[in-house]
Chain A
Amino acid sequence: MTDRSATMAAGSAPATADAHRRPLLEVKDLRVHFPTEDGLVKAVDGLDFTVAKGRTLGIVGESGSGKSVTSLAILGLHKRTRAQLSGEVLLDGVDIIGAAEETVRRLRGNKMAMIFQDPLSSMHPYYTVGAQIIEAYRVHNNVSKRAARARAIEMLSLVGIPQPDRRVDDYPHQFSGGMRQRAMIAMGMSCNPGLLIADEPTTALDVTVQAQILELMKKLQREFDSALIIITHDLCVVAEVADDILVMYAGRAVEHGPVADLFRRPEHPYTWGLLSSMPRLDRVREDRLRPIKGTPPSLINPPPGCRFHPRCPYAQRLGEICWTVEPELLEGPNDHSTRCHLGPVKAREVFVAEVEPLL
């Protein structure tokens, strides 16, 4: 287990000076379980990944795959009374899971920040955008209000908001959707955190604005040399900005690798499903959208064997093993690992012969 995460960490960085850097964030065997009346919900069940400074990891999966639960666990935002956490989340060597509440609070917003999906509901409606950025800055920096305000204006200007010295006194509802998300990013970056997590940052935005926001995040990441995690259900989003992609299914990683390799040689049937479920307008209407059949599995009683087998079109071919033995996340060439009984060779054959022509 540790062996695997170590190789993945090294693998996600290119063979430059960066490769020698210790990853800023290391997640080791993370488990987040919620006890409920119906049983134990295993929202995240053994997850390993690392992100180095200056790198971007895209976490992809359907609703309920554990993406957002993972991000909240990294920020230490799960109520300890409601969630059972185990494993390690090391931010710059500090374990978030084991640390005291107060220690994590001091890191939150300061060394790690988060941007949420819907910028309108994520900002307080009663305070000006400026006041909210000032608050975020002052809680970790002992500066005067005036200095914090200057910082807020500087951040707003940095994220491309016109007339920042005037807009700083506007309320969130006076901003457009894209502007609000820019302001959220300004707030998240105000303390210059080493790690920025963006949870579906473009989902609530107009398509025309989405690309701008992604571009902005990339630009700021380069400027601040921060580690970035983008959580999304949209493969197109991560294809543009991520260095590595982690595909999650039912609380576990099913495929993990560098973006180029993962798009060129996807090995897991679930990833194929995600790729083919993007609508294609060049097909006849009935054939444009090919969704993955079935629904996400129960996280209380996950299917035995491979968790994807009830929805997997290839499970019949391998027979019993798919519903009796859970596959391991196996490392292949190019730091590309996959959790599937097909194995890299057979998966490649199936992909080339049956999936790729339909993409």
Chain B
Amino acid sequence: MAAHTTLHTRRAARRYAADAGLLLVAASFVLPLAWVVLSSLDPRAGLKVRVPDGVTLDNFDAVLKPDITFTPLLNSLVLCGSATLLTVVCAALAAYPLSRFRSRLNRPFLLTILFATSLPITAIMVPVYALFVQVDLIDTMQGTIFFFTASQLPFAIWLMKNFMDGVPKELEEAAWTDGASSFQSLLRIVLPLMGPGIAVVTVFSFVAMWGNFFVPFMLLLSPDQMPASVSINDFFGNRGTVVYGQLAAFSIIYSTPVILLYVLVARKLGGGFALGGAVKG
């Protein structure tokens, strides 16, 4: 009995220690986040975390104008939306044969994809820039969309294939017996059954592109085509003194969609959704 109690208290003590440690880390992680939330509501925001004297929505008011917020956000949406759509369609079409048919080329193909997944995109941007200048795709939306799609595809195919492997083959065989072509069975049977998988691929691609700064920064030149990830830089420099309150307000508006998407998917599929198919170590 005594031994049992000591073990019990020891466990409890250990839990408090763990709690304290975690809270400490959480506190240091939360400081920058607190800054952005508090400053966006503060009429005289500086660089410090502080409780605002009065809560105001002026910062949001000042930012919510067509040329500051709506145009860049719309650009982001067009850019990332079309690229995501393209990515998902291509990934589904590519993953289907990889998942369903045995072929001698499967393994080398998958290995190549895996290899490409982990290459740093940053490294190829200078050559891509030079290439885009030559083929006249520089500073065009469609060029950037194509590049986004291409850069996201390896990972998307990889994820999609892993999800597709989880759909039992018997259902499809039944459809084939009934005379469905493989395209029909992909469209009518496999894809509807892997709804969560498609959601993950979609959200993951979209979030990755939404936050990407380097690609549009290099490939787009004219200010009216810039997505939010690049136009946010205008708050620095170009407008003289930095209005930190507005910068914070814009950051919040710009970040909200991806956080919402993440929460949505995480709720449905549980914590480490992005890791599900990709890096089960």
Q: Do A and B come from one complex?
A: no
User: Interface residues, chain A, CB within 8 Å of chain B?
Assistant: none
User: Interface residues, chain B, CB within 8 Å of chain A?
Assistant: none
